[in-house]
Structure 1
């Protein structure tokens, strides 16, 4: 367990695809159950903000011509479906999870692979496929932040969170899955994550762990 247990004070909280078009009820690409876990995600975010610990929101952006879209969705986008279109409200982070003083996503910067700062030690990055590490600068970014533990929450476990956790494990990061702060979680998936060394827990366990007196606040 020593190699896989979380180091909370060198961790980063990651949300996956918590955007209006994937999260809100009756949105164009709603993932059922995501809106239900927003309160848990918000509580985690506020705890990390209070600690001054890093937070990263990973998002999708689908160009209307379909040129950057994965092949399983390319046809529907080319036929006119509008999902997470750059510079639209549907692509924005859901309001409940935004930091104070939040400004709109800068699509051009994100599509160019840059990390957009949206608050103190809080950023947004774009991914073009399921995994957050695929053709991105996420790994060097995490090393620059002194991070060795990745705490995952967000939208649609079977797809993007699951893939991102596998990618993180491949790169020898310590990986945490907050199972009640993620949508579409199922029991076999939890076991599969545990099998590759992912630390699976719930919100209360994280809050208790990071509130421990031995856990340092970043200053």
Structure 2
């Protein structure tokens, strides 16, 4: 089993309290519902010997590394979303970085943009990606499309371990990804089928 999955990595994207918790300015409405499935996906990946990579946002307290359209959320005297070393930047309860996992910090939608993810995957012998997390039209889609553009031969987005602000937005973006050759199984399908 481990040989079958040795060239595969699971990217768990932005499953942080500021994106999941109710009342957060950055809350993804469908995020809380997928937490149990993300936990199961991580557990299954580890059993298969899949490299688990936690992709998170950690921002400067002044928001100097945040997209222009979000900088208004980082004002003096106010803690903005996913500021490094704040509780909002922590992984949601039940999600734990374990020995052998890896963590990548990003400041934009794609996990590949201005990070060392691609070189880390290459040196780790990874050419197959499985993606889970939030949110579907932004960080999930941007990462998946960049992986396709960089010719990763296998890119999978597990449909019920990803979420958006509405089911309609989620479904539309899953369809767009499927249309460019990204595999879009459910967690049940991924757990039963060795083709993903």
TM-score (norm 1): 0.80
How many residue pairs match? The answer is 187
Partner in structure 1 of residue 125 of structure 2: 146
SS for the counterpart of 1:180 is: strand
2 CA distance for matches of 1:51 and 1:189? Answer: 28
Partner in structure 2 of residue 10 of structure 1: 7
**CA offset at residue 183 of structure 1?**
0.8
Instruction: Say if 2:178 is the partner of 1:194.
Output: yes
Partner in structure 2 of residue 90 of structure 1: 88
SS for the counterpart of 1:25 is: coil
Q: 1:59 aligns with which of 56, 59, 67?
A: 56
SS for the counterpart of 1:97 is: coil
SS for the counterpart of 1:200 is: coil
Partner in structure 2 of residue 40 of structure 1: 37
**CA offset at residue 187 of structure 1?**
2.6
8 A contact 1:52–1:121 mirrored in 2: no
**CA offset at residue 48 of structure 1?**
1.1
Instruction: Say if 2:165 is the partner of 1:167.
Output: no
1 CA distance for matches of 2:18 and 2:171? Answer: 26
Q: Which runs of 4+ in 1 moved over 3 A?
A: none
**Which runs of 5 or more residues in structure 2 are unaligned?**
none
**CA offset at residue 58 of structure 1?**
0.5
| 1:115-130 alignment, distance < 5 Å | 118-130=97-109
Query: Once the two structures are superposed, what CA deviation does each residue of 1:133-165 show, in whole Å capped at 9, x if it has no partner?
Result: 111111110011111111011011011111011
Query: Once the two structures are superposed, what CA deviation does each residue of 1:20-68 show, in whole Å capped at 9, x if it has no partner?
Result: 1111222342111101001111101001112232000111112121111
Q: CA RMSD in A?
A: 1.9
Instruction: Say if 2:17 is the partner of 1:20.
Output: yes
8 A contact 2:55–2:111 mirrored in 1: yes
1:189–1:28 CA distance, 2 compared to 1 (3 A): closer
**CA offset at residue 8 of structure 1?**
4.4
**Which runs of 5 or more residues in structure 1 are unaligned?**
1-6, 99-117
8 A contact 1:153–1:177 mirrored in 2: yes
TM-score (norm 2): 0.88
Partner in structure 2 of residue 69 of structure 1: 66
